[in-house]
Amino acid sequence: MTFRKRLLLSYLTLIALPLLVLSTLFYRTSLHVVTEQAQQNVYDVVMKNNDVIDTKLGIADQNSRALFVDKDLFQIFNNLNPSDEAALVAADRQVTAILSKYFSLNEDVYSAQLWTSYYSFGSSVQMPLGDPAQSAIYKEAVKAGGKMVWYPTYDFIKMFDQPWLEDGTIDFRYLFSATRLLNFSHMEDSSLMGLKPEVERPVLTISFKSTVMDKLFEKSIPAGSSYMVLNPDNIVVASSDKTRVTKSYDADWLEQLRDKTSGTARIKIDGHNQIVSYARSEITGWMSIVVTPQSVLVASLVPVIRTSTVVTAIVLSVIALLFAYFILSRMTGPIKKLMGAMRSVGEGDFGTHVEITRQDEFGLLSQRFNRMNDRIAMLVKENYEIKLKEKEAEIHALNMQMNPHFLYNTLNIMNWTALENNQKELSKMLVCLSNMLHYTSRKDWGAVHLSEELEWMRNYFYIMSARFEGKFTVNYEIEPALYENKLPRLLFQPFVENAILHGFSGMEEGGVITIRGWIEEGNRYFEIRDNGRGISKDGIDTILYEESASVGIKNTISRIRMAYGDEYGIRIHSTPGKGTSIMICLPHKTQ
């Protein structure tokens, strides 16, 4: 591919990327705006439905409050004899008429009744209740002590134990009810008269069909949406899925709505993005929820947005292509000259100069190129010298990190020895330590001969042997030719320390450390082998690759690679329970 084609491709790429980003942003922003608007519309529908439900149920709530001071009901129950069957029938007709006055105009009320343990009053609808005083609805009302209790949708047959209706078709199978214990009172001659203490307080039960809410939601929510109404205990009062009504609905995503009153949320349900709009009733405390697939809200608008985005992108791409060819025709000549000069510089000829024939930006670019070329020639030499010094300083810094780490361990070992062995061998240890400190504190931290390194190791082993008396022995198997070359200082110490402190942990005696050295295929190899407890595969990976490994081992690896290159370093082989072998590879001939 020619430079012209490459430049054209680069130019088009630079245009295409912003164009792609802008097109994507336009598409996503448009889709977001449309989705937000559709989401707001669904939320408005939910809020409106919730207000309608609160209005309908609020009327029943207000009417129930009026019954507390109804004079006729007060007199009926205050003077009623529960054992007089004729009086009960007559009272039932009066109560039915009174309740009809309050609730007959509310078309959503299926039935309104007053329940007692001895009779059910106001049964304008034939509903075989059995003994309503034994139902959970009645007990909840009594427990509330006069507060309105909104009992969620229930199965009439199960609530009132009427199994014989199971095979029949009844229109009051699923109901939800508002119940309240009524303690009637009456003003008489400016005095508040209450029911006699012995009079049983009746329970008002206002029953609604669950379809009251179904009709409201089914007509207003978008196609493809689902709805449900849940009480605070997640019992389904109404739902587009009729099999869930009266049952508990427990889903993880409901926890996000538990403490909220109204709003919208985007939630992934069963792997699909859904828009959930919800509102909590101020009357019942029930939450109306509408779940709408996000794809449904924008299904009709997505093709329009996508088409407009693609057409705009194509038109802009064509315009950009025309501009690219025009600009490239003006750029190719000067750039070709500059490329030829750059090729010469790339081959190491920093004396190459471009002839300046234009006074525009390309002429200025050629002039700057010539200056840059001269500057590069000067900087190459300076940079080469700086890099050598930086590498030398880095190696020296890594070497110096060994001092405090090792001295700290050594002084601790001497302290243990003084305490445990009554200072009998302290003199010899101090001599060894003095030699070791002299070796490690030299100002010049360059490479040392193998004989110096082994002499330092013998001093080190003496101190460690005094600390771990009889625990290990050391063997040397070094080829004589290796004594002619130098190697990094403290090359073996981190590994033998690891063998003594960790490899022989738990052993009382019998530890053996073998230090071998030989020359093979132009490289020097040193092996530190022990018969300790070994290292696991994860432990080896930690030592070689993780930052949390031993400072001494990590520094030794870094020093080897900095001094000789990345192809040299260490290998670790270990068998748990049998021992560990550390193999160090160095070049044979070094500067």
When pLDDT is cut at 50, 70 and 90, the band that residue 572 belongs to is: very high
- The confidence score (pLDDT) of residue 400 equals 52
Judge whether 533 and 506 are in contact, CB under 8 Å: yes
Judge whether 204 and 112 are in contact, CB under 8 Å: yes
All structural domains of the chain: 401-587 (3.30.565.10)
When pLDDT is cut at 50, 70 and 90, the band that residue 527 belongs to is: very high
Element spanning 339, H or E: helix 302-346
Element spanning 174, H or E: strand 174-181
Q: Which residues lie closer than 8 Å to 314 by C-beta, 6 or more apart?
A: none
Looking at residues 16-27, what average pLDDT do you find? Answer: 75
**One-letter amino acid of 528:** I
Cα separation, 354 vs 370, in Å, equals: 7
235 has a pLDDT exceeding 80: yes
User: How is residue 225 written in tokens?
Assistant: 């949406």
Query: What would you measure as the largest C-alpha separation in the chain, in angstroms?
Result: 129
Cα separation, 395 vs 505, in Å, equals: 33
- The confidence score (pLDDT) of residue 356 equals 77
257 has a pLDDT exceeding 80: yes
User: How is residue 25 written in tokens?
Assistant: 């942003």
86-100, 103-117, 418-432: the lowest-pLDDT one: 418-432
Cα separation, 244 vs 229, in Å, equals: 11
Looking at residues 130-139, what average pLDDT do you find? Answer: 88
Looking at residues 546-552, what average pLDDT do you find? Answer: 67
550 has a pLDDT exceeding 80: no
pLDDT digits 0-9 by tens, 312-335: 778 777 777 777 667 666 666 677
Q: What is the mean pLDDT of the chain?
A: 81
Cα separation, 440 vs 352, in Å, equals: 52
With 0.75 as the threshold, say if the pTM is over it: no
- The confidence score (pLDDT) of residue 157 equals 85
83 has a pLDDT exceeding 70: yes
- The confidence score (pLDDT) of residue 143 equals 92
When pLDDT is cut at 50, 70 and 90, the band that residue 163 belongs to is: confident
3 has a pLDDT exceeding 60: no
Per DSSP, the residues of 141-158 read: HHHHTTS-EEEEEEEHHH
Query: Phi/psi class of residue 470: alpha, beta or left (left: φ > 0; alpha: ψ in -120 to 50)?
Result: left
User: How is residue 544 written in tokens?
Assistant: 């070689």
Percent of the chain at pLDDT above 90? 18
- The confidence score (pLDDT) of residue 56 equals 86
Higher-pLDDT residue of 433, 153:
153
Higher-pLDDT residue of 428, 276:
276
Cα separation, 539 vs 133, in Å, equals: 73
pLDDT digits 0-9 by tens, 371-396: 887 777 777 766 665 566 556 645 65
Q: What is the DSSP letter of 118?
A: S
Cα separation, 492 vs 448, in Å, equals: 13
408 has a pLDDT exceeding 60: no
Higher-pLDDT residue of 4, 111:
111
When pLDDT is cut at 50, 70 and 90, the band that residue 7 belongs to is: low
When pLDDT is cut at 50, 70 and 90, the band that residue 435 belongs to is: low
Judge whether 286 and 229 are in contact, CB under 8 Å: yes
The length of the chain in residues reads 591
